[in-house]
Amino acid sequence: MNTIEEGIAVKKYVKLGQERRRLSLEYIRTRYGIRKEEPIIDPRMIVIHWTAIDTLRGSYNAMQPERLPMHRFRIRRGGALNVGAHFLVDRDGAIYQLMPETMFARHTIGLNLHAIGIENVGGNVSTPLTHAQLAANEQLVRRLANKYGIEWLIGHFEYGKFRETHLWLEKDSSYFTKKIDPGPEFMAELRELVKDLGLKGPPTRVP
Task: Tell me the mean pLDDT in the region 44-70.
Answer: 97
Asked whether residue 130 is domain-assigned, the answer is: yes
What is the 3 state secondary structure string of 37-52? CCCECCCCEEEEEECC
Q: Is pLDDT at 184 greater than 70 in this prediction?
A: yes
Cβ contact 152:145 at 8 Å: no
What's the mean pLDDT when you consider all of the chain?
Answer: 94
Asked whether residue 206 is domain-assigned, the answer is: no
Asked whether residue 123 is domain-assigned, the answer is: yes
Asked whether residue 203 is domain-assigned, the answer is: no
Residues of the chain with pLDDT > 90, as a percent, come to 89
Query: To which H or E segment does residue 9 belong?
Result: strand 9-11
Q: How confident is the model at residue 156 (pLDDT cuts 50, 70, 90)?
A: very high
Q: Give Rg (Cα) of the chain.
A: 16
Residues of the chain with pLDDT > 70, as a percent, come to 95
More confident residue, 190 or 6: 190
Asked whether residue 202 is domain-assigned, the answer is: no
pLDDT at 50: 98
Asked whether residue 204 is domain-assigned, the answer is: no
14 Cβ contact partners less than 8 Å away, ≥ 6 residues apart:
60, 63, 64, 65, 66, 84, 98, 99
pLDDT at 205: 59
Task: Tell me the mean pLDDT in the region 165-177.
Answer: 96
In angstroms, the CA 103 to CA 43 distance is 10
Query: To which H or E segment does residue 139 belong?
Result: helix 131-148
Asked whether residue 174 is domain-assigned, the answer is: yes
More confident residue, 205 or 207: 205
Pairing outcome for strands 45-50 and 95-97: unpaired
Count of structural domains, the chain: 1
pLDDT at 76: 83
pLDDT tens for 108-150 read 999 999 999 999 999 989 999 999 999 999 999 999 999 999 9
**CATH code at 63?**
3.40.80.10
- Give the residue numbers spanning the domain of 115: 4-197
pLDDT tens for 74-90 read 788 899 999 999 999 99
pLDDT at 7: 61
Asked whether residue 40 is domain-assigned, the answer is: yes
Q: Is pLDDT at 194 greater than 50 in this prediction?
A: yes
Burial class (CB in 10 A: 0-12, 13-18, 19+), 188: exposed
In angstroms, the CA 71 to CA 154 distance is 28
pLDDT at 2: 33
Pairing outcome for strands 115-120 and 87-89: parallel
